[in-house]
Amino acid sequence: MSGIGLPGSPQDVPTPSGGTVRVRQAGEGPPVLLLHGWPQTSVMWHRVAPGLLDGRTLVLADLPGYGDSALPAGAAVAVSGKRTMAADLVAVMAALGHERFAVVGHDRGARCAYRMALDHPGAVSALAVLDVLPTADVLARADAGFARGAFHWFLLSQPADLAERLVAAEPDAILGRGLAEVCDPAALAAYASAWARPEVVHGMCQDYRAGFDVDAADDEADRGRRTITAPTLVLWGRRGPLGRAPAVLDDWRVWAPAATGRALDAGHLLAEEAPDEVRAELAAFLPTTSRYRLRRRATGEPGTATDRNDARRREP
């Protein structure tokens, strides 16, 4: 990670499924878990996280199977399903002393984050999802344009070890496609270092297999039956795939009725393309020590993520 400034020192926390999650923790105040997307690691937050430290405890985690987070040996595809990932990460946060926390996720990390909010509402005080729609919605609407633009969904989900062999043959062409134009060179080097390890390529493939094998079914089972009660912020890139979606907020309000949000002037990689805007939106949304104390004095109850600037309606 040479040249990349990430807050906190790395530590590995065991998970209930039998793997480990690499985390970095820094700051003081209400806890916030940051989850990255594909094909990245927690390094993707390097332009955003330092500006969120004031009044908060940040936990940056590599998703199970990505970066320095290890899946259990011989783990089934379901272990990479977002239900198990979410349970593992809730347990990791509890091990760090955080029984209730806000969670921010981009891309695959956002899929884990919204599943966490559905399955563990008592643990999630606030949810922010960056440039993503729920998995079941994506697959239900997949067409020829999606298949061409997001070909990696279908490639990485092929049975083992076909996908692993194909990615190993051309990792930069498949995993690094388009990243050099928007990523800091040191961040890109950190991602490429992770891709060079066969277990990480396998972990990525297992993640996408789980999207088809268990994640979409879990979403469909919850559709119309459960909704996200935590305050929810939705951000997406105007120049990315969701910029062509007709009603991103309407789609999310099926799952999180009180969701607010807006499009940013960026492509898919929001935290690397528009870090100042992402940081400003998250800073206004996420709880801080000062907001926590104000709410506690006013109500006698613990502060939550509702202690934010509610006057702002982040409509596109």
The residues annotated with a catalytic role in the active site are 107, 268
At 77 the three-state DSSP class reads helix
Q: Is the peptide bond before 161 cis (omega within 30 degrees of 0)?
A: yes
Name the phi and psi angles at 106, rounded to 5: -115, 135
Token digits of residue 259: 């969701």
What CA–CA distances, in Å, run from 100 to 57, 62, 209? Answer: 12, 19, 30
What CA–CA distances, in Å, run from 72 to 18, 64, 206? Answer: 5, 9, 12
Name the phi and psi angles at 146, rounded to 5: -65, -40
Quote the CA–CA distance of 170 and 191 in Å, as a whole number.
15
Token digits of residue 253: 């309000």
